[in-house]
Amino acid sequence: MTKVNDFVIKFANVNGSGSASANLMFAKTIFRMGIPVSPKNIFPSNIQGLPTWYEIRVNKDGYTARRDGVDCLIALNPQTYQSDLKELVKGGYLIYDSTMERRFPRKDINVIGIPMASICAEHYDDPRQRQLFKNIICLGALSVLFKIDISVLKGLIKEEFQKKPKLIEPNLHALGLGRKYAQENLSSDFDLQLKLMRQKSKKIMIQGNEASGLGCIFAGATVASWYPITPSTSLAEAFEKYLHMFRSDLKGNIKGAVIQAEDELSAIGMAIGANWNGARAFTATSGPGVSLMSEFLGLAYFAEIPLVLFNIQRGGPSTGMPTRTQQSDILSSAYASHGDTKQILLFPSDPRECFEMSVDAFDIAERLQTPVIFMSDLDIGMNDWVVDELSYNDKHNFDRGKVLSAKDLDSIEMWGRYLDIDGDGIPYRTIPGTHPSKGSFFTRGTSHDAFAGYTEDGRINAENLLRITKKFNKSTKYLPKSIRRNAKNKTDVGLIYFGSTAPAVDEAIDYLSEEGYNINKIRIRSFPFDRVLEKFISENNHLFILEQNRDAQMKFLISNELEIDINQFVSILNFDGSPLTAKFIVDEFKSKVKNNKKIVAKVKRSRTAA
């Protein structure tokens, strides 16, 4: 049976073999054909020689979460033949390099051999070329099998090698070699087909870290200090790229500075120093980095210094799974640092939101004079997602918050760095160098009074801590609101989720509704939690919380912060490091409600009604 625009293709490669760019070109070709596509790069913490996979889901209905079961496996790594083979669906295709012919222990699949290495050996002498062009030859053969619009693929190759034009012709040649082989030797009886579609809106294919780095440019960030760590590195690198692109003058001078620090302690220290001195600055890291930054996070919280920290979460604990995804830093970020501390968190769910929330994060940090932790993850940060084009409102001005100018200082009678003048808990700050005789103060992590003076008076310290709590509790008006959507039919079953699980949730809820399960959903976008979430919780009697960690961290945070009985929530947890599938959610949900007579009875009723 022919499958059009609805299947999963998986490339099994060896890392360091040049497969990544060829794989991306394949995914991007599908994207340019207007077909909803979502590639996931499953890679090892290694540079050369270990297995790596590239999984592409094509879905005409626009479902972009991962899906189990591979329809076409391009098996180019003998190390993983056995396990890869298991994932192939019945009747699926296995494509391999048949330079060395071999048998595969499954009779229910179609095996297609393409002698890629021997074609290469015939046409290229240089060993590196032989390896690199093997991927392009494979791409050529695939383009014939999948009936891909070849002009799209050729156009992509030309773009890819725009900066090295000498490579265009050899790549097109390799592509032609693969196509020729397929046309002459392979049966046209191939059931998976890619057909052009028309996109409903203008789309782009982009990674979250790229979008965040760009967002920081639009937000007016001028200082970035960071320490290399997967999966956040590409965020700082994207910022640096756009800094040179957009903020470099004719003399080559740059309106911004990027420092690769000696460690995460220093990276956050620099970002704090720059923010203290009135520049917009950020740092980007992942779990292990956040652990190291905790001490400074406490200082920024207590001394009330704005800061934007990107936490691109990966698999923990400890060094954990550096190249896999998780949402397992929720509690350690929300309560980062010793003593009574609470941090503002943002939860983007795709690269477009990464851009928007990165722009907003700096306004929030300066308005509230506190760190804002941007809780992305490896799946959003390092995979290519197809999203609507990025947009920006030129009329939006930076919200620098309560900063006093020299003129302001001259016109006021009394000023204290930590005085709550407006009753919102947010004091007024001054930037060094502003006024010759007014507005200087001593920033400290030790207990201080409203005038920033050192104090060991417990009552004064307690008052100050309560003011910061007031500021924190009132902060929700500046934060992105939760987004809720009710099921078509009235129900009191609710699902709470956040971040990169969104595509899997959307798909799962559709499947479940087809089976008669009506589910209201709400996507959390920030912490502290807003009224929208509180209302959702009060309106739904059966509440599920979906998250990618072992310990149900979001569940604990919600029940702790909103003072709700934790037994009111049922957790759906996944922490295997892979982006979620809708099937996982559907199966988990059904197994959790199996014994819940109320929910199952309602489903039966709605089926009868239908």
Give yes or no for a cis peptide into 432 (omega within 30° of 0).
Answer: no
Single out the residue of 446, 538, 541, 591 in contact with another protein (rule: CB under 8 A).
446
Judged by beta carbon, residue 12 or residue 364, the one nearer another protein is: 364
Quick one: which segment of 95-103, 163-171, 264-272, 567-575 binds another protein (CB under 8 A)?
Answer: 264-272
Binding-site string for another protein from residue 368 to residue 407, where x marks contact by CB under 8 A and - marks none = ---------------------xxxxxx--xx---------
Single out the residue of 267, 375, 519, 586 in contact with another protein (rule: CB under 8 A).
267
157: contact with another protein by CB under 8 A? no
* Residue 274 phi, psi (nearest 5): -70, -40
Shortest gap between Cβ of 325 and another protein (angstroms)?
A: 21
Render 463-488 in DSSP notation, one character per residue.
HHHHHHHHHHHGGGGGSPPPEEE--S
Strands 3-4 and 192-193 turn out to be parallel
Render 111-142 in DSSP notation, one character per residue.
EEEE-HHHHHHHH--SHHHHHHHHHHHHHHHH
Q: Residues binding another protein: what is the number (CB under 8 A)? A: 76
Could you tell me if 374 and 289 are in contact, meaning their C-beta atoms sit under 8 angstroms apart?
no
Shortest gap between Cβ of 298 and another protein (angstroms)?
A: 8
Euclidean distance between CA atoms 447 and 290, whole angstroms: 24
Quick one: which segment of 13-21, 196-204, 319-327, 595-603 binds another protein (CB under 8 A)?
Answer: 196-204
* Burial of residue 400, with CB atoms counted within 10 A of its CB: 0-12 exposed, 13-18 middle, 19 or more buried: middle
Q: Which amino acid is at 45?
A: S
Binding-site string for another protein from residue 451 to residue 480, where x marks contact by CB under 8 A and - marks none = --xxxxx-----------------------
Half-sphere exposure of 207 (CA within 13 A, CB side): 21
Single out the residue of 246, 339, 466, 591 in contact with another protein (rule: CB under 8 A).
246
The tokens of 368 are what?
């509230």
Judged by beta carbon, residue 30 or residue 205, the one nearer another protein is: 205
Measure the CA dihedral 533/536/540/542, to 10°: -30
Shortest gap between Cβ of 409 and another protein (angstroms)?
A: 11
Judged by beta carbon, residue 337 or residue 559, the one nearer another protein is: 337
Judged by beta carbon, residue 384 or residue 530, the one nearer another protein is: 384
Euclidean distance between CA atoms 47 and 479, whole angstroms: 39
Euclidean distance between CA atoms 484 and 534, whole angstroms: 11
Euclidean distance between CA atoms 333 and 576, whole angstroms: 21
Residues 319, 323, 325, CA angle at the centre, nearest 5°? 95
Shortest gap between Cβ of 256 and another protein (angstroms)?
A: 7
Shortest gap between Cβ of 94 and another protein (angstroms)?
A: 32
Quick one: which segment of 134-142, 339-347, 446-454, 497-505 binds another protein (CB under 8 A)?
Answer: 446-454
430: contact with another protein by CB under 8 A? yes
Quick one: which segment of 169-177, 210-218, 340-348, 475-483 binds another protein (CB under 8 A)?
Answer: 210-218
Quick one: which segment of 33-41, 428-436, 490-498, 519-527 binds another protein (CB under 8 A)?
Answer: 428-436
Shortest gap between Cβ of 430 and another protein (angstroms)?
A: 8
Shortest gap between Cβ of 180 and another protein (angstroms)?
A: 30
Judged by beta carbon, residue 392 or residue 535, the one nearer another protein is: 392
Render 303-330 in DSSP notation, one character per residue.
HT--EEEEEEE-B-STT-BTTS-----H
From the list 590, 591, 600, 592, the residue with the least C-alpha distance to 512 is 590
Judged by beta carbon, residue 272 or residue 543, the one nearer another protein is: 272
Shortest gap between Cβ of 64 and another protein (angstroms)?
A: 16
Q: Which 295-324 positions form the footprint of another protein (CB under 8 A)? A: 295-296, 299
Q: Which helix (H) or strand (E) holds 204?
A: strand 203-207
Single out the residue of 187, 318, 437, 595 in contact with another protein (rule: CB under 8 A).
437
Judged by beta carbon, residue 457 or residue 539, the one nearer another protein is: 457
200: contact with another protein by CB under 8 A? no
Long-range contacts of 197-203 (CB under 8 A, 24+ apart): 197/5, 197/33, 197/34, 197/35, 197/36, 197/60, 198/34, 199/34, 201/388, 201/389, 202/388, 202/389, 203/31, 203/386, 203/387, 203/388, 203/389
201: contact with another protein by CB under 8 A? no
Euclidean distance between CA atoms 585 and 215, whole angstroms: 32
Q: Which 278-297 positions form the footprint of another protein (CB under 8 A)? A: 278-279, 281, 295-296
Could you tell me if 327 and 556 are in contact, meaning their C-beta atoms sit under 8 angstroms apart?
no
Phi-psi domain of 34 (left: phi exceeds 0; alpha: psi -120 through 50; beta: other): left
| Gap between the terminal Cα atoms of the chain | 31
Binding-site string for another protein from residue 16 to residue 35, where x marks contact by CB under 8 A and - marks none = --------------------
151: contact with another protein by CB under 8 A? no
Q: Which 85-114 positions form the footprint of another protein (CB under 8 A)? A: none
117: contact with another protein by CB under 8 A? no
